Amino acid sequence: MQLRSTILIVVNQCQRNYKMSEIEIKVPNIGDFKDVEVIEVLVAEGQSIKKNDPLVTIESDKSSVEIPSDLEGKIKNLKIKIGDKVSEGDLILTLESTSEVKRQEVIEKPEAEKKFENIKVTQPKIRQKNVTTNNVRDVSSASPKTRKFARELGVDINQVAGSEKDGRVVEDDIKKFVSYNSKNNFMVKDSKPDKIKNEFEHSDFGEIEIKDIPRVKKLSSKYLSNSWTTIPHVTNHDEADITEMESFRTSLTDVYTGEKIKITTLAFIIKALVASLKKFPSFNSSIDEIETGKMTLKKYYHIGIAVDTPNGLMVPKIRNANNKKISLISKELKDVSELCRNLKIDKKELFGGSMTITSLGGIGGSFFTPIINYPEVAILGVGRSEKKKIFKNGKFQTRTMLPISMSYDHRIIDGAEAARFNNDLKENLGKNFAYKLAI
């Protein structure tokens, strides 16, 4: 009789929910996160959505998470926007739904079930790796998003037992794994160093101002920290003689109007770099996991350019630079720089590069140590050119010299190969290369 009463309660509740025309969609339990920032709103008012469609993307200091809808219907009111801070239970939107609403109901449990209430929940299982005769790793089944989530938390996903069908790992499994292991002090990798507490406040010594770190800088800091701590950097410093190249560049004129053609030095450097990448393909590669013993050699030439903006450093790509004339490259450099400064650049344009160039020539300075733009394996730093007395052909001559600093991933590139690459790049920037370039 009691079990029948329970069933009737559930049925009546479902019928009441089914008749609801407007439903609130709230931030679900996303783990131990609070006041996290909304970085993307993926839907709009009046839009029809299906179950599991992503609604918004939120970002904590550890990871980015998409929040999906558990219902289908039409969005009536959108309650949040980019930049808002949300926590569990905050309202995302209201939905006009025609589908049955599934809600967790607190109901009286049958007497037969009460005896299970005091059973303790065991800790998450650690997945055991299977060793085969071919010495192949047993790789967990998981989506790319889940694997990224695990990497950001410093978790070896192959040690996590999946709760879904066929042992598939989901984000909840990783959260439970992290929670249990952090309490028992045997996490595979500590993703944060110990914090050092200052004995004094900054305000103890004078007037201060508190400002938010720009979002672009906060986002790039994760990638820079990851690159610096995981990639063994080595930097090769040298100087390239660009006397003839600069003479050629500054002498360019329009054949019809006679006006000077203004082309930035950086456009010539891009073209020269592409020529060297063709000769040294390992510089146009990536290694996602060194344990696999594999590297990805790219057949395209997308050159990243570090753009200084008021919001922070951004690195858009000049796509297929090998197929473009220098005049077009120069124009694209202006266009993408403007898009970055106005925060109108497509996010996808910041990814998928071959190698990056970061130039301080317009500001000043000579040699420095640029940080590799992961997952690339090398980056070229360019300083300000200057005229110097160089001993050449038996006498001292005034030459225009360009400081170059190339950082490379020592796991893939060794010192001798880096020196050869720099020598080739210097030759490409010299006299013989300049006159062969299509303008």
Residue among 32, 23, 31, 30 nearest 51 (CA): 23
**Is the distance from CB of 160 to CB of 175 less than 8 angstroms?**
no
136: left (phi over 0), alpha (psi -120 to 50) or beta: beta
- Concerning whether 237 is annotated as a catalytic residue, the answer is no
Distances from the Cα of 400 to the Cα of 13, 420, 430, angstroms: 81, 22, 11
d(CA 417, CA 371): 19
Exposed, middle or buried: residue 311 (CB in 10 Å: 0-12, 13-18, 19+)?
Answer: middle
User: Which residues, 6+ apart, have CB-to-CB distance to 198 below 8 Å?
Assistant: none
- State how far the Cα of 171 lies from the Cα of 142, in Å rounded to an integer: 9
Catalytic residue among 202, 237, 302, 410, which? 410
Place of tokens 């059973």: 119
The Cα–Cα gap between 241 and 264 comes to: 17
Return the closest-CA partner of residue 50 out of 27, 67, 31, 71: 71
Which residues does the annotation mark as catalytic? 410
